[in-house]
Structure 1
Amino acid sequence: MGVPVAICLAWALALGCTHPLTHSKPEAAGEGPPHGAELPSNDTDLAELCADEGGFDAATLSENGSMLFFRGEEVWEISAGGARPQRHPLAQAWPELGGPVDAALRLQRGGQRGLYLFQGEQVWAYAGGQLLPGFPRRVGDEFPGVPGGVDAAVECHPEECGGDTVLFFKGDTVLAFDVTLGVTKARAWPALGPCGAALRWLGRFFCLRGSSFRRFHPLSGEVPPGYPRDLRRFFIPCAGPGHGHGHNASWGDDGDRCSQAPFGALLSDDAGRVFAFRGNLSFQLETGDGHHPWPLPHVWPGVEGGVDAAFAWDGRIYLLQGSRVWVFLSGRGHRPVLGYPRALQEELGVSRADAAFTCPGSVHLYVIAGDGVRRVDLTQTPRVAGEATSLPHDGVDGAMCTRDGVFLFRGADFYQYPGVTQLLGAQQPAPPQNIAARFFRCPQ
């Protein structure tokens, strides 16, 4: 490999990944599209897109977490928060390409992101909207063992594939490229079939074909029951009979990250990823995936109807609902642990939880009910809750602890404390701050 992928993405750091994809002046966060000039995108455009049974040439997430769907000389951008999709000319964002793309890929390494666009035998690499030095290159020079003319590509993280991996699709063939070793291995996934485009979103993998999509396992290619599904019901915000997309319709304020609707729970897992729960929706606040909502049972199998409290400990994520608790393996596609749900009293030694949190490196769980908090030693069997300590709040919706401190959430606001000691010793609530502004980067 002339210039390994890791070095290409190191160039991305040097160029600065905080800029939008264009070569134009960067816009302020949350203000306007990341592609510069856009084609008129009106109701007629969207109606045509939703009525079209055709598929897309490529799909990926942009460097700022928006969804990008490529078709011919155009690219559709779908941002979080219910915003109307924007249609942009391909040449405006990436003038070097000069035509449609075969596949698109976002790669993340060390917190930095680069965007790869494939066209025939060549690949272009961008960071911060700038073409990286030395590109375009032959696909096989950048990704040894991968032929030109690929149909789709998608990144796969170490916790999902055992190492930094790129999955390439060409016809019925799947090629797994190990980013670290620079080695490609072929896989046979007859259950999945060809993919016109591929997308990783919220730790799940999707194969797009025409106007439908299939979810698949990145190691086996296994497709769970219930697929294919209509692309326009889940990713494209179409309205009307048969399409009713929730991002800006049926989910209402719950699906709008910038609304002031309260969250039922928030948690930070062992990897520092933050998840938020509101109604029957789940948000992942990881910046790479944007702030897109997703129906709760699609992300957390078996859980439906809301989450009362949530916390992470020892590689597992606990979701509490009423008198029951579900447990999922963290970092493995939220795989449910066998034997759950179980009774809350049996699992944690409490009968009620309005909120719960664990702090990094601690074995103690703090369960909040009303204006009191009880401590549970998670290493004990059976688990027993200690005596309640009063809080300077008469009730909260959720709680979370990170290396930045303890956060209590109520309504549209949160209250931050440096640590558990400061929280338990506080006589007055900390100053309120806005959840949407702090965690979802919404304008106040």
Structure 2
Amino acid sequence: MKVHSISSALLYLLPLVLSYPLIKGRHNDTRTDPHPAADPQHNASGVPDRCTDEGFGAITLDDDGVIHYFRGDTVWTGFQGPPQLINESWAGLTGPIDAAFRNHNEKKPQEHQRTYLFKGSLVWSYFAGKLVTGFPRLISQEFPGVPDDLDAAVECHRGECRTDSTIFFKGDTAYIYSSGEQPPVKQRHWPLGICTAAVRWLERYYCFNGINFTRFDPVSGQILAPRPLDSRDYFFRCPGRGHRHVVRQNVTLASIINRCSNRSYDAFSSDDASRTYAFRGGWYFRLDSSKDGWHPWPLNHTWSNLQGVVDAAFTFANRMYFIQGSQVSVYLSDQIYIPVAGYPKAIQEEWDVSGVTAVDAAFTCPHSSDLYLIMGNKLILVDLTTQKRYGEDRTIIHTNLDSAMCNTHGLYLLQGPIFYHYKNVEELLSSRKAPAPGDISSYFLDC
């Protein structure tokens, strides 16, 4: 039985959970320390320190999904990697770096997943750790219409922007570059102000100014958080900062946000855009974004006002549905998830399903209007175009399921730490013996 409550400890989170954007703040030059270090960018040992308030000149993920932070001649890698000279890991390049981004353009394989680094009037391109032949090049040759001496850059994916594109920042102006458009660059005033670095991470867009960051909408430039945040509390490890100590002190929370804890998942869902989610205890993981790392997020980070345990989740007609106890909530799925007015509603108010006040699992399959509700070992069919129950309820060989998900690879029924895979619903209904189980953690979550 699923309990619909959430511990107050879940309001505290490890770095990045509250990754709402910041408006860039200027570096504060006021010091109360009467004996300042000779160089504020270095620690007492003289080693460059990413935890100072200097911030970064550029931030990007590489083609392996590893994040890099550039400042001066130094680059830091990942959540806690040591400082390195830029030319030790990026051949032929020295700092400081003005801007950087990881390109996304599946229609152009020679550009897709390349990492671009900008300095002055030149741009370097790297793939699989090597400098691409023909680089460095003039920015004006590689990206016609984009100015030199950039402040920041970030890629924007089709679906999040109208088309695969790159947003270049210089001062309070944004240059939106789309290689397939004519002209390729659209110039606009950017309401965020100056971005000294920018990065796209797990479908979220961040503008940095010094050590602060702000999350923004890549289309409108709208700020998506009430106040700036300090990147040292969210993006990388710094002594005495962040929220990880709360996780260590709370065993329940730690097991929820540890994807490999073998704690059962409450729901799985995959939509028509191939976005796949695993839900557990008021949190979720994005399964299809593992190349950007595995990170838990609270539900309301993506679906505003949604919290607590999700019993089932599924998509239909560009909408995502969540069932929690006897209630259904619906969100429009576009560039961001937008709550539909009038929800939540009771299950029996949303669909003509008398006697159904809660479910163990629910799923839809791609390009189908059939909704399957699972209660115990009963399979109930609803036509989502009419909102009506139809056909006879069917009996399946499984009971006490936690979740179900149907995608282009088939139907998955999840129970505790294991799952059962069927080719389709028909195979499930005809089965008299369960297939060999698989391990959820290793199969779906790379544990």
The normalised TM-score by structure 2 is 0.81
Is the CA contact (8 Å cut-off) linking 2:411 and 2:425 kept in structure 1? Answer: yes
d(CA) in 2 for partners of 1:262 and 1:72?
46
d(CA) in 1 for partners of 2:142 and 2:361?
48
Is the CA contact (8 Å cut-off) linking 1:106 and 1:115 kept in structure 2? Answer: yes
Is the CA contact (8 Å cut-off) linking 1:102 and 1:118 kept in structure 2? Answer: yes
What is the Cα deviation at residue 441 of structure 1? 2.2
Is the CA contact (8 Å cut-off) linking 2:161 and 2:335 kept in structure 1? Answer: no
Whichever residue aligns with residue 194 of structure 2, its letter is P
What is the Cα deviation at residue 311 of structure 1? 0.6
Q: Which residue of 1 aligns with 2:280?
A: 278
1:336-375 maps to which residues of 2 (within 5 A)? 336-348=339-351, 349=353, 350-375=356-381
Q: Which residue of 1 aligns with 2:149?
A: 149
Residue of 328, 342, 348 corresponding to 1:325: 328
What is the Cα deviation at residue 237 of structure 1? 4.2
Is the CA contact (8 Å cut-off) linking 2:48 and 2:74 kept in structure 1? Answer: no
Cα distance change on mapping 1:312 and 1:441 into 2, 3 Å? same
Is the CA contact (8 Å cut-off) linking 1:237 and 1:247 kept in structure 2? Answer: no
Q: Which residue of 1 aligns with 2:186?
A: 185
d(CA) in 2 for partners of 1:351 and 1:303?
19
**Which structure shows the bigger proportion of residues in helix conformation?**
1
Whichever residue aligns with residue 190 of structure 2, its letter is W
1:26-425 maps to which residues of 2 (within 5 A)? 49-50=50-51, 52-78=52-78, 85-89=80-84, 90-110=86-106, 112-181=112-181, 183-190=184-191, 192-238=192-238, 240=240, 243-245=242-244, 249=248, 251-287=253-289, 288-348=291-351, 349=353, 350-381=356-387, 383-384=388-389, 387-425=392-430
Is the CA contact (8 Å cut-off) linking 2:56 and 2:210 kept in structure 1? Answer: yes
d(CA) in 1 for partners of 2:426 and 2:208?
50
Residues matched between the structures, number: 390
Matched residue SS, 2:104: strand
Is the CA contact (8 Å cut-off) linking 2:380 and 2:389 kept in structure 1? Answer: no
Matched residue SS, 1:113: coil
Please identify, of 104-113 and 150-159, the stretch whose mean Cα deviation from structure 2 is larger. 104-113
Is the CA contact (8 Å cut-off) linking 2:263 and 2:416 kept in structure 1? Answer: yes
Is the CA contact (8 Å cut-off) linking 2:48 and 2:83 kept in structure 1? Answer: no
Identity %: 43
Cα distance change on mapping 1:179 and 1:255 into 2, 3 Å? farther
- Runs of 4+ deviating beyond 6 Å: 44-47
Whichever residue aligns with residue 86 of structure 1, its letter is G
Cα distance change on mapping 1:424 and 1:403 into 2, 3 Å? same
Cα distance change on mapping 1:216 and 1:398 into 2, 3 Å? same
Higher relative contact order (CA 8 A, sep 6+): 2
Is the CA contact (8 Å cut-off) linking 2:143 and 2:177 kept in structure 1? Answer: yes
Matched residue SS, 2:348: helix
Cα distance change on mapping 1:271 and 1:129 into 2, 3 Å? same
The normalised TM-score by structure 1 is 0.81
What is the Cα deviation at residue 352 of structure 1? 1.1
Larger Rg: 2
What is the Cα deviation at residue 230 of structure 1? 2.6
Cα distance change on mapping 1:274 and 1:54 into 2, 3 Å? same
d(CA) in 2 for partners of 1:151 and 1:224?
21
Whichever residue aligns with residue 104 of structure 1, its letter is A
Whichever residue aligns with residue 173 of structure 2, its letter is T
Is the CA contact (8 Å cut-off) linking 2:175 and 2:187 kept in structure 1? Answer: yes
Show structure 2 runs of 5+ residues with no match: 1-44
Matched residue SS, 1:257: coil
Please identify, of 387-396 and 217-226, the stretch whose mean Cα deviation from structure 2 is larger. 387-396
Show structure 1 runs of 5+ residues with no match: 1-43, 79-83
Residue of 423, 427, 435 corresponding to 2:440: 435
d(CA) in 2 for partners of 1:247 and 1:235?
17
d(CA) in 2 for partners of 1:75 and 1:133?
23
d(CA) in 1 for partners of 2:260 and 2:160?
30
RMSD across aligned positions (CA): 2.5
d(CA) in 2 for partners of 1:172 and 1:246?
38
Is the CA contact (8 Å cut-off) linking 1:310 and 1:320 kept in structure 2? Answer: yes
Whichever residue aligns with residue 96 of structure 2, its letter is P
d(CA) in 1 for partners of 2:88 and 2:234?
28
Whichever residue aligns with residue 164 of structure 1, its letter is D
What is the Cα deviation at residue 364 of structure 1? 0.4
